[in-house]
Amino acid sequence: MRDQETGCLFLKNVHYFDPSEGVLGYGNVLIREGRVESMGEVGPSGAVREIDGGGGLLCPGFVDLHAHFREPGYEYKETIATGSKAAVAGGFTAVCVMANTDPVNDNADVTRAIRERALDVGLARVYPIGAVTRGLGGEHLTEMGRLSEAGCIAFSDDGKPVSTSRMLRRALSYSRLFNRPVIDHCEDPELSDRGVMNEGSVSADLGLAGIPNASEEVCVARDLSVLEACGGRLHVAHLSTAGGVRMVREAKRRNLAVTAETCPHYFSLTDEAVRCHGTHAKMNPPLRRESDRLAVIEGLKDGTIDVIATDHAPHAPHEKEQEFDRAPFGIIGLETAFSLSLALVREGHLSLSELIYRLSFRPAALFGLPHGRLVPGGLADFVLLDLSGEWEAGRPGYYSKSRNSPFTGSLMKGKVLKTIVGGRVVFDGEGDVCG
Amino acid sequence: MINRLISPEVPAFGPHLLSVVDLSPEVLTGILDTAESFLEVGHQSVKKVPVLRGKTLLNLFYESSTRTRSSFEIAAKRLSADVINISTTQSSVTKGESLIDTVRTIEALGADGVVIRHPSSGAPAFVSSRVGCHVINGGDGCHQHPTQALLDLFTIRRKLGRIGGLTVAIIGDILHSRVARSNITTLSRMGARVRLVAPPTLLPRGIEDWPVEIFHSLEKGIEGCDVVMALRLQLERAAGGFIPSVAEYARLYGLNAPLLERVAPGALVMHPGPVNRGIEISGEEEFTESSAILSQVEFGVSVRMAVLYLLMGGGPEEVLAGGAVPDKGGKE
């Protein structure tokens, strides 16, 4: 990796877009020592490698604020190596990974181990998210200072909500010391009550225990009240309900320091998908009704929902291939996120520039990461896109170690041609990850 | 006997029976007519016909069950099938074997059909998508209990002569009831009006599109009904907070003789069993003539014979051959 970073790459014949300034141009991009040297009508002065972009769209690499790479502890589901391959194949050059590993990322040793492993792998940039409470136990705050120094860029007990309103209050207040956000998985476990899918007409038909919208909404309401009372920065993970979107919208109007993400499945599918995709349509929060799907899209349009994250949650086939109520929650998402999101542009909900903004610059800005820009002097982390390219999800396979996706076999529109991290091509078109 | 068996024109269904949702009124009628012809077998001195000779049926029960399991077993044996019963307490399931591995093993053993009773909704459908033999849902979670709904239809048609135009009240824990889910579909498909009678905590959310009328008051709900069907109350529902106590449930939703004065003349009282005496139903001795509960059990065997025969019997020609040339089965 180092060799090429010091080298020089000449990318010619591309449309390039910088979402931080909203600038679109056409021409060539010269990259030296991992950074953009110049762009536009520039020549290949001293470049060791030249790539013809074929007129594709060059954007800053996507930044995922929410993924599970499962290492350490659950390497049979995913590793930092396979997760990173999936990331760059999906156009993501930076990925924030959740703390629910084994051991939990609640101490600096685990944080450093994750970062070192990711550097060895040398594909996507991996940013660890530290736990809010020790062992995700919900009782004692982690040493957020040491975790921040070791490289944690945010804190979350994701997989479950921050246990109590008192703990949330402490976490939001204390994390202000380091200007790091607290990410909450908003769910009231009492209302979810062993539910396994959205509560509604589909769960009624299928006889499966339901998770009501109120389960998310009660927790969003709690979090916003606590945030208002004690300050700090709150990032709401995987927003899925109309009520949740409405409350975040109102809170933003009142200038509370809240941001939010949703995931492609919440604006692509409804709970009807459970009927045909079974456990591959099982995730938490669950796929909701059509009215919620539309509200999530509305939230993205008006900026209530800041970013699209993946909640990439790999599980092994033997875990998903069992009874619906026994299978674990979660689906993989890194490799399909861009294509699914591009549908929002085709359907007229978002402009292409808004979409790129919500996949790159906006998430980077939320967590203070130096990504999401395509400007002279900026990091050369890019994705080259073919907006009309078609491919079939999961065929012949996924780069992820797991294949738990309801989209497998679906026709995807919008293709990642190349992914570049630090001036080095890490994913090269027709199925090559340059590991 | 054999000739009469083939006579009902039953439109094709199968290869599995997972849910009643896909069964048209014609198929339902065909199954009931077939069951009718099997009713005689139970009254013969030799209660056996050779239509499933050489076939193996597996009863795979992940939940305790007396009547459904033995009903399937008797039905299969009367059709001359070989029957193996596996219950979770005595199998490798208790050693942690997954459902899919259990079923693959069973398939490798050469079963032609599997009856599955499982606490997880959707488990039989999951199995059917991964094995090559016939799968019959013997009750899955809170989802479906197709043969119960079929035997309930059969009981009503036999006792009252018709199904279309009747009003049927289903009383109790609709939320957790696979019996209710299957019955609502089959009854309304055959032209009955269905009422659900339950406290709000025991009704699912999202049932606006179900073809039912909802009542919270038992008195109003059973008024003028031709059939009242009480569901079994799992006693742990009180601990789950769905009802404050079993006693209060019995007071508000228990059937008894004075209440039954409100139903239509000649109405039936049904229950999928086993009955919690004094909770869903009390003082049954005062209305024995309207109780169809034991008939449901008896008819259950004929209905399950019909289902097994139609799914696994291999068609009229094979049946005819098996009946007309008794040696043939032995030579194969």
Q: What are phi and psi of A194, to 5 degrees?
A: 65, 20
Residue pointed to by tokens 């002279």: A376
* Angstrom distances, CA of residue B11 to CA of B18, B36, B153, B315: 17, 16, 18, 11
Q: Which of A314, A335, A366 is the last residue of a domain?
A: A366
Q: Tell me the residue ranges of DSSP E strands in A325-401.
A: 382-392
Determine contact, residues A417/A91, Cβ cutoff 8 Å: no
φ, ψ of residue A406 in degrees (nearest 5): -75, -10
Contact A59, A372 (CB under 8 A): no
User: Considering only CA atoms, which of B308, B302, B298, B300 is closest in space to residue B82?
Assistant: B308
* pLDDT tens digit sequence for A127-154: 999 999 999 999 999 999 999 999 999 9
For position B240, what pLDDT does the model report?
A: 87
B121 vs A208: CB contact, 8 Å cut-off? yes
Which CATH superfamily groups domain B146-295?
Aspartate/ornithine carbamoyltransferase (3.40.50.1370)
**In A, which residues are within 8 Å of B118 by CB distance?**
323
Q: What CATH number corresponds to the domain at position A203?
A: 3.20.20.140
Q: What is the DSSP string of B255-288?
A: B-TTGGGGSPTT-EEE--S---BTTTB--GGGGG
Select the residue from A196, A206, A277 to test the B interface by mutation, using most B Cβ atoms within 10 A: A206
For residues A273 and A276, give the distance between their C-alpha atoms in angstroms, rounded to a whole number.
6
Q: Is B214 in the A-facing interface, judged by CB distances under 8 Å?
A: no
- Report percent pLDDT > 70 for chain A: 97
Same domain, A97 and A142: yes
pLDDT digits (tens, 9 = 90+) for A369-417: 999 999 999 999 999 999 999 999 999 999 999 999 999 999 999 999 9
Residue A315 lies in a domain: yes
| Distances, alpha carbon A158 to alpha carbons A37, A93, A103, A133, A154, in Å | 39, 22, 15, 11, 11
Residue A311 is among the residues annotated as catalytic for this protein: yes
| Among B118, B119, B189, B122, residue whose Cα is nearest residue B152 | B189
Residue A136 CA: distances (Å) to CA of A63, A103, A139, A145, A172: 25, 10, 8, 17, 16
Q: How far apart are CA A285 and CA A204, in angstroms?
A: 18
- CATH code assigned at A398: 2.30.40.10
Residue A215 scores a pLDDT above 70: yes
Indicate the number of domains in chain A.
2
Residues A263 and A282 in one domain: yes
Same domain, A169 and A257: yes
Omega prior to B274 cis, within 30 of 0: yes
Looking at residue B44, what is its pLDDT?
A: 86
> Would A93 be classed as within a structural domain?
yes
Question: For position B329, what pLDDT does the model report?
Answer: 35
A87 — pLDDT class (breaks 50, 70, 90): very high
Identify the three-state secondary structure at position A274: helix
The partner residues of A32 in beta bridges, in order of sequence, read A8, A35
pLDDT(A120) > 50: yes
Task: Among 3.50.50.60, 3.40.50.720, 3.65.10.10, 3.40.50.1370, name the CATH number for the domain at B2-144+300-321.
Answer: 3.40.50.1370
Q: Which of B18, B117, B120, B129 to mutate to test the interface with A (most CBs of A within 10 A)?
A: B120
Expressed as residue numbers, the domain containing A360 is 63-366
What pLDDT, on a 0 to 100 scale, did the predictor assign at position B330? 34
pLDDT attached to residue B7: 46
Q: How far is A274 from chain B (nearest CA, A)?
A: 11
**DSSP for residue A209:** P
Spell out, as residue ranges, where chain B has pLDDT lower than 70.
1-9, 89-96, 314-332
Q: B249 to each of B174, B244, B253, how far by Cα in Å?
A: 14, 8, 6
Whether A193 and A229 map to the same domain: the answer is yes
For residue range A178-207, list pLDDT tens digits in order.
Answer: 999 999 999 999 999 999 999 999 999 999
Say whether B121 and A210 touch across the interface (CB within 8 A): no
What is the pLDDT confidence band of residue A434, given thresholds at 50, 70 and 90? low
B201: Cβ contacts below 8 Å, ≥ 6 apart: B175, B241, B242, B243
Q: pTM of the prediction?
A: 0.93
* Number of CB atoms found within 10 A of residue B212's CB: 19
pLDDT the model gives residue A431 = 55
Same domain, A184 and A237: yes
Domain locations in chain B?
2-144+300-321, 146-295
**A21-37, pLDDT tens digit by residue?**
999 999 999 999 999 99
Residue A78 has pLDDT above 70, yes or no: yes
Which residues from A are below 8 Å from B99, CB to CB?
A: 322-323
What pLDDT sits at residue B326?
33
pLDDT at B328: 32
The mean pLDDT value of chain A amounts to: 96
Q: Note whether B2-144+300-321 and B146-295 share their fold.
A: yes
- Contact between B139 and B203 under an 8 Å Cβ cutoff? The reply is no
